[in-house]
Amino acid sequence: MARRFVEGLDPQPDQRWLDVGCGTGALTDTVLDLARPSRMVGVDTSADFIQMAGQRLEDRAELHVAGGDDLPFDDGEFDFVVSGLALNFMPDPTRALSEWRRLIGQGGVVSVYVWDYAGRMGFLRAFWDVARSLDPGSHRFDQAERFAICRPDALQSAFEEAGFSDVGTGSVEIETRFVDFDDFWTPFLNGIGPAGTYVGSLDDRQRERLRSSLMATISTGDDGAFEFPARAWTAAGGR
């Protein structure tokens, strides 16, 4: 997904990039490979993620622990500000976008992508469809309901409210492949994200019921592998 996103921005060499909510560095790494920036900076609120990103990226990027809506950089310091799968986790997405707009110079671009939680986020929709059939109360964890920003019209509105011009939205689609059911299921046990939080709230009996019900809904190939489509919505704007 990160590769498709960066390619769509048509980057030129020797530009200045900032990745907000960089996590463990997947998007940052992709920008370094494809865009050959003169400067690459990544920020995240999690010190643990920044440490992991540092191990992955070594000395190829500047990394800082910082919040997405109060960043320690000067006005117009970057040509691109990007954020992958993070805008919906910002306490106030519009305020964050306003901060990112401050950081781009004339001709600069802010661009983001977020999962289409309500539609073609296949493996999560499969999870929540089963979870909600077993436990209607689980809807409060479902990202499709929690993250209203993850729709093209909402992204468009947030960018416009933040003062951007020439706002455009789009989508990027990939296939997510799992080698077997355990490859699909095990990440939910780590307690990460709303789905992981929900699984962690279940007792052993409820968790096994969810697991077995999910397994029954998934068709696999002869080798046990299977795929789900995944779509991300994109949005971009300039000064």
Residues 156, 56, single domain; the answer is yes
Residues 98, 198, single domain; the answer is no
Please give the single-letter amino acid code of residue 145.
E
- pLDDT averaged over every residue in the chain: 96
| Residue 224 within any structural domain of the chain | no
Residues 157, 108, single domain; the answer is yes
| Residue 226 within any structural domain of the chain | no
Residues 202, 186, single domain; the answer is yes
- In the chain, the percentage of residues whose pLDDT exceeds 90 is 98
Taking phi over 0 as left and psi of -120 to 50 as alpha, with beta for the rest, 43 belongs to beta
Place of tokens 């096994």: 208
CB 21 within 8 A of CB 84: yes
Q: List, for residues 85-132, the tens digit of each pLDDT value.
A: 999 999 999 999 999 999 999 999 999 999 999 999 999 999 999 999
Which H or E run includes 12?
A: none
- Does pLDDT of 214 surpass 90? yes
For the CA atoms of the chain, what is the radius of gyration? 19
Residues 129, 32, single domain; the answer is no
Q: List, for residues 31-44, the tens digit of each pLDDT value.
A: 999 999 999 999 99
**In sequence order, what DSSP letters do the residues of 143-160 get, joined into one string?**
HHHH-TTSSHHHHHHHHH
Residues 166, 48, single domain; the answer is yes
Residues 167, 215, single domain; the answer is no
- Does pLDDT of 144 surpass 90? yes
Q: List, for residues 155-210, the tens digit of each pLDDT value.
A: 999 999 999 999 999 999 999 999 999 999 999 999 888 999 999 999 999 999 99
| Residue 225 within any structural domain of the chain | no
User: For the whole model, what pTM was predicted?
Assistant: 0.92
Burial annotation 180-194 (CB, 10 A radius, 16+ → b, else e): ebeebbebbeeeeeb
- Please state, in angstroms and rounded to a whole number, the distance separating the CA atoms of residues 63 and 15: 17
CB 145 within 8 A of CB 126: no
45: how many CB neighbours lie within 10 A of its CB? 15
Total domain count, the chain: 2
Which H or E run includes 127?
A: helix 122-134
Q: Which residues contact 136 (CB under 8 A, 6 or more apart)?
A: none
Please give the single-letter amino acid code of residue 110.
V
Residues 109, 158, single domain; the answer is yes
Here the CATH number for the domain that contains residue 59 is 3.40.50.150
Q: Which residues contact 113 (CB under 8 A, 6 or more apart)?
A: 1, 5, 83, 84, 85, 172, 232, 233, 234, 235
- Please state, in angstroms and rounded to a whole number, the distance separating the CA atoms of residues 230 and 175: 6
Residues 156, 59, single domain; the answer is yes
List phi, psi (to 5°) of 168.
Answer: -135, 150
Which residues is 236 bridged to in the sheet? 111, 168
Residue 192 is predicted with a pLDDT of 83
List phi, psi (to 5°) of 149.
Answer: -65, -20
Please state the separation of Cα 92 from the chain's center in Å. 16
Helix (H, G, I), strand (E, B) or coil at 237: strand
Residues 73, 160, single domain; the answer is yes
Residues 98, 125, single domain; the answer is no
User: What is the domain extent for residue 45?
Assistant: 2-116+151-174+231-238
Residues 42, 95, single domain; the answer is yes
